Structure 1
Amino acid sequence: MFPYPSGTLHLGHLRVYTISDVLARFKHMQGYHVLHPIGWDAFGLPAENAAIERGVHPEKWTLHNIQAMKAQMMAMGGQWDWDRELRTCDPDFYQHTQRIFLMLHERGLAYQAESMVNYDPVDKTVLANEQVDAKGCSWRSGAKVQKIMLKQWFLKIKEFQEPLLKDLDALAENGSWPERVLAMQRNWLGRSEGTELCFDIQTEHPEAKVKPVEVFTTRADTLFGVQYIALSLNHPIVQEIAKQDEALGAFLQRAPDFPPDSREGYLLPNVTARNPVSTILNGNGVSEPLPVYVAPYVLDDYGSGAVMGVPGHDTRDHAFWRANAPNSTIKVVITAKANHTPRPLIAGAKNDKPMVRKGFVAANINGFAGLPSDQAVEEIVTRLQQSGQPIEKTENWRLRDWLISRQRYWGTPIPIIHCNSCGPVPVPDDDLPVELPNLPDRYFQGKTGNPLAEDVKWKKTLCPKCGSSAERETDTMDTFMDSSWYFFKFLTPKDKSPFGSAEVDHGMPVDLYVGGVEHAILHLLYARFISKFLSTTPLWQQGRLVQGEPFKKLITQGMVHGKTYSDPDTGRFLNPAEVDKTNPSAPVIISSGLAPKVSFEKMSKSKYNGVDPGKTIALYGADVTRAHMLFQAPVSDILEWDETSITGVQRWLARVLEISNAPFFPPHLPKTFKPPNDLDQPLIHILASLRHSGALKPATPTHGKPSPFETAEEELISCLKLPEQKLWLKTQETIASVHKSYSETYSLNTIVSDLMSLTNTIEAAPHSSAVTPHLAWHATAHLLRMLAPIAPAVAEEGWETLHKRTSGPIAENPKHHPLLRHNGGPSIFAWGFPSADPDSIRLLDTTMTCVFQVDGKRKFEVEIWKKPPSVTGETETRRWVLDQVAETERGREWLERGEGKLWKISGVADPHPDYIHVPESWQVVAASGGRILNVVSPRGKAGKAGGLP
Structure 2
Amino acid sequence: MNSYKPNEIEKKWQDFWDEHETYVTKNEYDKEKFYALVEFPYPSGQGLHVGHPRPYTALDILARKRRYEGYNVLYPMGWDAFGLPTENFAIQHKIHPAKVTENNIKKFKEQLKSIGFSFDWSREINTTDPKYYKWTQWIFLQLFKHGLAYKNEMPINWCPSCKVGLANEEVIAGRCERCGTEVIRKVKSQWMLKITEYAQRLIDDLDEVDYIERVKTQQKNWIGRSEGAEIKFNIPEVDDALEVYTTRPDTIFGATYMVIAPEHPLIDENASKILNLDEIKAYKDESSKKSDFERTELVHDKTGVEAKGLKAINPLTNKEIPIWISDYVLMSYGKGAIMAVPAHDQRDYEFAKKFNLEILPVIEGGDISKEAYTDTDSGHMINSDFLNGLEVKEAIEKTIDYLEKHKLGHKKVNFKLRDWVFSRQRYWGEPIPLVYCDECGWVPVPEEDLPVILPEVDNYEPTDDGESPLSKIESWVNTTCPHCGKPAKRETDTMPQWAGSSWYFLRYTDPDNDEALASKENLEYWTPVNWYNGGMEHTTLHLLYSRFWHKFLYDIGVVPTKEPYQKRTSHGMILGGNNEKMSKSRGNVINPDDIVNEFGADTLRTYEMFIGDFEKNAPWSERGVRGCRRFLERVWNLQSILVEGEEYTKELESSIHKTIKKVSTDYENLKANTAIAALMSLSNEFNDFGKITKADLRTYLMLLNPVAPHITEEIWEVNNLGGYLNEQAWPIYDESKTVDEIMEIPVQFNGKVRYTINVPKDAGKDEVQKIAKEHESYNLQTKDKTIVKEIFVPGKIYNIVVK
Calculate the TM-score normalised by the size of structure 1: 0.73
Equivalent residue number for residue 734 of structure 1 = 659
Shift of 1:136: 7.9
Task: Determine if the alignment matches structure 1 residue 426 to structure 2 residue 430.
Answer: no
Give 1:486-505 correspondences, 5 Å limit.
486-496=504-514, 497-505=516-524
Deviation of 1:664 after TM superposition, in Å, equals 5.1
Change (3 A) 1:49 1:937: closer
Provide the rounded CA distance (Å) in 1 between the counterparts of 2:745 and 2:252: 72
> Paired residue for 1:211?
240
**Given the superposition, is the C-alpha separation of residues 483 and 878 from structure 1 closer, same or farther in structure 2, using an over 3 Å criterion?**
same
Residue 331 (structure 1) aligned with residue 360 (structure 2): yes
Instruction: Give me the whole-angstrom Cα distance separating, in 2, the residues matched to 1:150 and 1:939.
Output: 88
Q: 1:429 to 1:458 in 2, by over 3 A?
A: same
In structure 2, the partner of 1:652 is 631
Confirm or deny that 1:250 pairs with 2:167.
no
Alpha-carbon deviation of 1:372?
A: 0.8
Paired residues of 1:501 and 1:538 also in contact (CA < 8 A): no
Measure, in 2, the Cα distance between the counterparts of 1:560 and 1:863: 43
Q: What code does the residue aligned with 1:314 have? A: D
Identical aligned pairs, as a percentage?
A: 36
Q: Give the aligned residue type for 1:224.
A: F
What is the identity, as a one-letter code, of the residue corresponding to 1:415?
A: P
Give the Å deviation of 1:336: 3.2
Following superposition, the deviation at residue 157 of structure 1 comes to 0.6
Aligned counterparts of 1:144 and 1:225: Cα–Cα separation in 2: 39
Is contact 1:138-1:144 (8 Å) kept?
yes
**1:382 paired residue number:** 401
SS of residue paired to 2:575 = strand
What displacement does 1:449 show?
6.2
User: Which one of the candidate residues 97, 100, 112 is aligned to 2:136?
Assistant: 97
* Residue 183 in structure 1 maps to residue 217 in structure 2: yes
- Given that 2:259 and 2:324 are in contact with CA atoms closer than 8 Å, whether structure 1 keeps it comes out as yes
Give the counterpart letter for 1:238 in structure 2.
Answer: I
Q: How many Å separate the matches in 1 of 2:324 and 2:372? A: 22
Give the direction of change, closer, same or farther, for the CA distance of 1:877–1:187 in structure 2 (3 Å limit): closer
Partners of 1:109 and 1:850 lie apart in 2 by 66
Secondary structure, aligned partner of 2:417: coil
Q: Following the alignment from structure 2 to structure 1, what is the Cα–Cα distance between the partners of residues 781 and 359?
A: 81
Task: Determine the structure 2 residue equivalent to 1:411.
Answer: 429
Gap change, CA 1:864 and 1:654, over 3 Å in 2:
farther
- Deviation readout 1:391-417 (Å, 9 max, x if unpaired): 111111001111100000000000000
Contact 2:427–2:460 (8 Å) recurs in 1: no
CA 1:766–1:45: 2 relative to 1, 3 Å: closer
1:296-335 matches, within 5 Å, as: 296-323=327-354, 325-326=355-356, 328-335=357-364
In structure 2, the residue matched to 1:579 is none
Tell me how far apart the structure 2 counterparts of residues 660 and 862 of structure 1 sit (CA, whole Å).
38
C-alpha deviation, 1:420, in angstroms: 1.1
Distance 1:98 1:552, change over 3 A: same
Are residue 461 (structure 1) and residue 479 (structure 2) matched? yes
Letter in 1 for 2:447: D
Residue from 227, 231, 254 that aligns with 1:197: 231
Does residue 1:846 correspond to 2:741, yes or no? yes
Matched, 1:508 2:532: no
Mapped to 2, the partners of 1:141 and 1:502 lie a distance apart of 51
Rounded to whole Å, the distance in 2 between the matches of 1:362 and 1:87 is 60
Distance in 2 (CA, whole Å) between partners of 1:332 and 1:783 is: 70
Alignment-mate amino acid for residue 677 of structure 2: S
SS of 1:307's equivalent in the other structure is: strand
Question: In the alignment, which of 718, 742, 750 is matched to residue 801 of structure 1?
Answer: 718
Query: Residue by residue, what CA displacement relative to the aligned partner does 1:582-612 show, whole Å, maximum 9, x if unpaired?
Result: xxxxxxxxxxxxxxxxxx1111233322211
Aligned to 1:925: 773
Q: Distance in 2 between matches of 1:507 and 1:829?
A: 23
CA distance in structure 2 between the aligned counterparts of 1:316 and 1:640, rounded to whole angstroms: 38
| Contact 1:660–1:799 (Cα < 8 Å) also in 2 | no
8 Å contact kept, 1:274–1:289: yes
Q: 1:142 to 1:34 in 2, by over 3 A?
A: farther
**CA shift for structure 1 position 730:** 1.1
Q: Secondary structure at the match of 1:757?
A: helix
What are the superposed Cα offsets for residues 430-467 of structure 1, whole Å, 9 maximum, x if unpaired?
21111111112x54499996210111111111111111
Q: Taking structure 1 as reference, are residues 27 and 3 closer, same or farther at Cα in structure 2, changes over 3 Å only? A: same
- Change in Cα spacing, 1:162 to 1:233, as seen in structure 2 (3 Å) is same
For 1:14-163, what aligned pairs fall within 5 Å after superposition?
14-119=53-158, 124-126=163-165, 146-163=184-201
Q: Give the whole-Å Cα distance in 2 for the aligned partners of 1:49 and 1:400.
A: 28
Which residue of 2 is the match for residue 829 of structure 1? 726
What does residue 19 of structure 2 align with?
none
Listed one character per residue, the Cα deviations across residues 826-876 of structure 1 (whole Å, up to 9, x for unaligned) are 32121121111124335xx311258999xxxx999996644545xx53xx5
Q: Which has the higher contact order (CA 8 A, sep 6+)?
A: 2
Instruction: Give the partner amino acid of 2:660.
Output: I
Could you tell me whether the CA contact under 8 Å between 1:334 and 1:355 is conserved in 2?
no
SS of equivalent residue, structure 1 residue 607: coil
Structure 1 contact 512–552 (Cα < 8 Å) conserved:
yes
Partner of 1:555: 569
Decide which of 205, 220, 224 is 2:249's aligned counterpart. 220
Aligned to 2:18: none
Give the Cα separation in 1 of the matches to 2:533 and 2:307: 52
Question: Matches of residues 678-693 of structure 1 in structure 2 within 5 Å?
Answer: none
1:404 to 1:136, Cα distance in 2 relative to 1, 3 A: farther
Taking structure 1 as reference, are residues 37 and 317 closer, same or farther at Cα in structure 2, changes over 3 Å only?
same
Q: Which residue identity does 2:108 align to in structure 1? A: M
Counterpart Cα distance in 2 of 1:289 and 1:301: 26
Deviation of 1:122 after TM superposition, in Å, equals 5.9
Paired residues for 1:654-803 under 5 Å: 654-661=633-640, 663=641, 665=643, 670=644, 673=645, 675=646, 727-743=652-668, 745-765=669-689, 773=692, 776-803=693-720
- Number of equivalent positions: 736
CA distance in 2, matches of 1:75, 1:379: 67
Distance change >3 Å, CA 847–CA 133, structure 1 → 2: farther
2:605 alignment partner, SS class? helix
Cα distance in structure 1, aligned partners of 2:664 and 2:260? 59
The CA distance in 1 between the partners of 2:70 and 2:784, in whole Å, is 63
- Measure the CA separation in 1 of the matches of 2:182 and 2:192: 23
Equivalent AA in structure 2 for residue 621 of structure 1? G
SS of corresponding position for 2:660: helix
> Could you tell me how far apart the structure 2 residues matched to 1:446 and 1:474 are?
12
Partner SS for 1:606: coil
1:678-727 Cα distance to aligned partner (Å, 9 max, x none) = xxxxxxxx59xxxxxxxxxxxxxxxxxxxxxxxxxxxxxxxxxxxx6552
> 2:245, 2:439 → 1: CA distance?
41
Secondary structure (helix, strand or coil) at the match of 1:563 reads coil
SS in 2 for 1:293: strand
CA distance in 2, matches of 1:273, 1:255: 23
1:52 and 1:446 in contact (8 A); partners too: no
- Coordinate RMSD, CA, aligned: 3.1
Q: Structure 2: which 5+ residue stretches go unaligned?
A: 1-38, 791-797
Query: Unaligned regions of 5+ residues in structure 1, if any?
Result: 204-208, 279-286, 346-350, 565-599, 676-685, 688-723, 768-772, 804-808, 811-825, 882-923, 927-931
SS of the counterpart of 2:590?
A: coil
One-letter identity of the residue aligned with 1:625: L
> Partner letter of residue 678 of structure 2?
D
Report SS of the residue matched to 2:215: helix
